[in-house]
Chain A
Amino acid sequence: MKKATRQRIRKVLRAVYYGKEKEETEIHWQSKVIAQIQNLGPPALIENYMENLSSLLWQLVPGTCILILILGLVFFNIEFIPRYEITRWLIEESSELSVWGQFL
């Protein structure tokens, strides 16, 4: 495409684009915005609420880490202790059974 054509296309498209600004509109949105912001409350409060929420979350971080660590250890141990316990119980139980068997 020639440079002159490119420039001409741009000029036309820009004119069409800016023509949209001049179009008449009949829209009513202002009262809805006012009603909505009255429900929201002052913007500073919204801001403070978010700040408080984030500071609260940061305060919970150490506690959460400790909890995760404890739960991790618990789950790690749960994996092995019952097997060990069961094995021990079975050994003890079988010896008891054999002793009982001698009396029966």
Chain B
Amino acid sequence: MSDDYFNLTDTEIITRVVEGNVNAFEALMIRYQEKVLKIVKKRIPYRNLEEIMQDVFIRVYQSLATFEGKSNFDQWVSSIAVRTCYDYWRKAYKTHELPMSSLSEEHQKWLRETVAHSSDTSLEEKIKQKEGRELLDWALRQMSPDDRMVLELIYLEGLSGKEAANILGWSLANVKIRSFRARRKLEKLLANFIKER
């Protein structure tokens, strides 16, 4: 691939791709692969990463002619990545591909200890343990795909309701209601494992 494409702006590359220079798409892919990978890694199980990364970039390519440049291309690609992950979960829930594991005593203990820890240095050590990831995956599996997406965007990533609504293409009211319900459901789920004084 020619290095020339790397000196071009996103808009210039998009124009070339749409005009028929298919190979120029590689430059866009290389430019945004890290960002997309970060989005996908947080949402999709490791075994499906490769498949979802492919899906995201094929979707980006197929929709490229519809990109009008009104929004930032970076946001546009991110939105496609989030929606692809959302579709993955909707399909997974529909086909019942989710493992129905329950939360073990070790996970419950991990949660109690991590929440009780006061210092940030011990917290850093705790979150590196596999129990943390397994617990989060378990909690998210208890949510519907819609609740899961809203919870990830607002509760975990800290996006505003408006930003989440733009990404998902939903109304702001819908996002707010879902976010509130999903958050309460999550807290209720985890409250059972934490004994408060």
Contact = CB atoms under 8 A, between A and B. Distances in A.
Contact of B41 (A14, A21, A33, A37): A21
B190 A30 contact: no
Interface in B114-136: 114-115, 123-124, 126-128, 132-133, 135-136
* A contact patch SS: helix
Interface stretch (A40-48, A60-68, A83-91, A96-104): A40-48
Contacts of A6: 187
B42 A18 contact: yes
A36 B194 contact: no
A5 B116 CA distance: 9
Interface in B131-179: 132-133, 135-136, 139, 152, 155-158
B29 A20 contact: no
A71 interface: no
Contact of B133 (A16, A25, A36, A47): A16
Contacts of A18: 42
Interface in B20-70: 20-23, 25-26, 29-30, 33, 37-38, 41-42, 46, 49-51, 53-54, 57-58, 61-66
A13 interface: yes
B191 to A, nearest CB: 5
Interface in A2-31: 2, 5-6, 8-21, 23, 25, 27-30
Given A5-B196, A44-B18, A25 B26 contact: no
Contacts of A11: 123
Interface residues of B, number: 53
Contact of B196 (A2, A21, A36, A37): A2
A38 interface: yes
A13 B133 CA distance: 9
B54 A20 contact: no
B41 A44 contact: no
Contacts of A30: 26, 29-30, 33
Contacts of A43: 17-18, 61-65
21 contacts: A2-B196, A5-B194, A6-B187, A9-B190, A11-B123, A12-B123, A15-B124, A15-B127, A15-B132, A19-B128, A20-B41, A23-B41, A25-B49, A28-B50, A33-B57, A34-B25, A36-B54, A43-B17, A43-B18, A44-B20, A45-B20
Interface of B: 17-23, 25-26, 29-30, 33, 37-38, 41-42, 46, 49-51, 53-54, 57-58, 61-66, 111, 114-115, 123-124, 126-128, 132-133, 135-136, 139, 152, 155-158, 187, 190-191, 194, 196
